């Protein structure tokens, strides 16, 4: 099976497993796990923030970040298909009592004008106050699209002017950094809080970080306990994170090059893909012109030995490259995907 459903499908490499086996550990809740402490320092530095807190998942990192920045009844603005709105089970409402204000956008990116039109100051009797603006980079639902640094700077400047707190869902910010050639710290430093996921392109079995100022991370540590995310000898998994941050960032460029090769191969074979969309490790396949439903297409692809997955868009599938997909897999996928979709189109 050529596994292109998601970069979350990576399994730890032999080298990462060796790092896990050799991990020094201690009681993480007491800040006595040297490997967790090392991971948190490394991540804070890479993300341009004072501190970082290790948590089990990027969902938890996002939810903790939102809670550190707001009070119940406040509002959060984000793109309508952002992970925090679409894929966290209403967590912003459940964990933080937040109202959600979705923005419709191109490529997952909204403008300062949209932010200005949507944010409201609130008052003491009727109107809730917008408190947070959340940026997702890369943007999952639009196909791993990257926010240019100037657009981030413009959004954050507008947010500050409006008194909003900016959060970066940077689950894949390392992909954004590698693709744009802008260091992750240069992206992350603009935000009050930043999420980074270790278990996607970085190849760890699990783990994520939430980063921010010393003051905000003190709150985040308390919330991590409250959410049941404070662990014990977590260095066992943090060792994978340290390994990933030291060895697996630059290699994301290989995933991006393979996504491009896949997209170009599919395009040449007549499969509808938008080549301009391919900025990182996602390729989106448009089923509309093929007249196929997503379910039929996925089943036929699976039967041909290729795993793709759904997107929030009714006629679009995605293929995601990652650590465990090599050049041969891509060459085979370039043959198998058109065959599977062509066979279906003729059926």
Identify which of residues 197 and 238 has a Cβ nearer to ligand PLP in the complex.
197
Per CB under 6 A, which of residues 38..67 are in contact with ligand PLP? 57-59, 62
Q: Is 140 in the site for ligand PLP (CB under 6 A)?
A: yes
What value does the CA radius of gyration of the chain take, rounded to a whole number of Å? 20
Q: Give yes or no for residue 137 binding ligand PLP (CB under 6 A).
A: no
Please state, in angstroms and rounded to a whole number, the distance separating the CA atoms of residues 291 and 69. Answer: 45
Beta pairing class for 130-136 and 75-79? parallel
197: contact with ligand PLP by CB under 6 A: yes
23 contributes a contact to ligand PLP by CB under 6 A: no
Q: How far is the CB of 291 from ligand PLP (least distance, A)?
A: 29
- Cα-based distances in Å from 18 to 25, 148, 232, 315: 15, 37, 20, 42
Among 136, 192, 255, 329, binds ligand PLP (CB under 6 A): 136
Q: Applying CB under 6 A, what is the total number of residues that bind ligand PLP?
A: 11
User: Min. distance of Cβ 57 from ligand PLP in angstroms?
Assistant: 3
- Residue pair 133/110 in contact (Cβ under 8 Å)? The answer is no
Instruction: Please report how many Cα atoms fall inside a 13 Å half-sphere around the Cα of residue 73, on the Cβ side.
Output: 9
Minimum gap (Å) between residue 244 Cβ and ligand PLP: 14
Q: How many residues does the chain have?
A: 347
Structure tokens at 36: 């967790």
CB of 138 to ligand PLP, least distance (A): 8
In the complex, least distance from residue 233 CB atom to ligand PLP, rounded to whole angstroms = 21
Per-residue contact flags (x/-) with ligand PLP for residues 78 to 107, judged by CB under 6 A: -----x------------------------
Residues 264-283 that bind ligand PLP (CB under 6 A): none
Core vs surface per residue 229-240: b (16+ CB within 10 A) or e: bbbebbbbbbbb
Q: Is 306 in the site for ligand PLP (CB under 6 A)?
A: no
Taking the least distance from each CB to ligand PLP, the nearer of 49 and 137 is 137
Q: Pick between residue 141 and residue 287 the one whose CB is nearest to ligand PLP.
A: 141
> Considering only CA atoms, which of 231, 118, 94, 108 is closest in space to residue 169?
108
Whole-angstrom distance, CA of residue 51 vs CA of residue 37: 10
CB of 47 to ligand PLP, least distance (A): 15
- 29 burial via Cβ count (<10 Å: 0-12, 13-18, 19+): middle
Element (H, E) at 115: helix 112-118
In the complex, least distance from residue 112 CB atom to ligand PLP, rounded to whole angstroms: 22
Q: Given the rule CB under 6 A, which residues bind ligand PLP?
A: 57-59, 62, 83, 136, 140, 169, 171, 197, 199
């Amino acid at each position: 099976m050529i596994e292109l459903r998601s970069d979350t499908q990576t399994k730890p490499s032999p080298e990462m497993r060796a790092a896990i086996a050799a991990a020094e550990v201690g009681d993480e809740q007491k800040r006595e796990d040297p490997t967790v402490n090392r991971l948190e320092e490394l991540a804070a530095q890479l993300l341009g923030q004072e501190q970082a807190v290790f948590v089990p998942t990027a969902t938890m990192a996002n939810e903790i970040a939102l809670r550190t920045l707001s009070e119940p009844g406040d509002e959060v603005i984000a793109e309508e298909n952002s992970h925090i709105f679409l894929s966290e089970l209403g967590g912003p409402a459940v964990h933080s009592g937040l109202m959600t204000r979705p923005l419709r956008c191109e490529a997952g990116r909204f403008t300062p004008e949209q932010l200005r039109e949507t944010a409201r100051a609130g008052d003491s009797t009727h109107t809730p106050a917008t408190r947070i603006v959340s940026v997702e980079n890369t943007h999952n639902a639009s196909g791993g699209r990257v926010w240019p640094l100037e657009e981030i700077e413009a959004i954050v400047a507008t947010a500050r002017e409006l008194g909003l707190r900016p959060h970066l869902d940077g689950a894949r910010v390392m992909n954004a950094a590698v693709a744009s050639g802008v260091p992750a710290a240069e992206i992350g430093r603009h935000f009050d809080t930043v999420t980074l996921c270790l278990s996607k392109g970085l190849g760890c079995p699990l783990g994520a970080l939430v980063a921010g100022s010393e003051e905000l991370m003190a709150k985040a540590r308390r919330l991590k306990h409250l959410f049941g995310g404070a662990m014990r000898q977590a260095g066992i998994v943090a060792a994978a994170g340290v390994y990933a941050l030291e060895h697996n960032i630059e290699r994301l460029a290989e995933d991006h090059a393979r996504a491009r090769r896949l997209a170009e191969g599919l395009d040449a074979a007549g499969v509808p893909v938008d080549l301009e969309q391919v900025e990182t490790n996602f390729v989106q396949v448009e089923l509309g012109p093929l007249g196929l439903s997503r379910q039929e297409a996925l089943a036929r692809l699976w039967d041909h030995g290729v795993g793709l997955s759904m997107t929030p868009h009714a006629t679009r599938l995605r293929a995601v490259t990652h650590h465990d997909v090599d050049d041969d897999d891509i060459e085979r996928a370039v043959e198998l995907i058109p065959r599977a979709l062509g066979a279906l189109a003729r059926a």
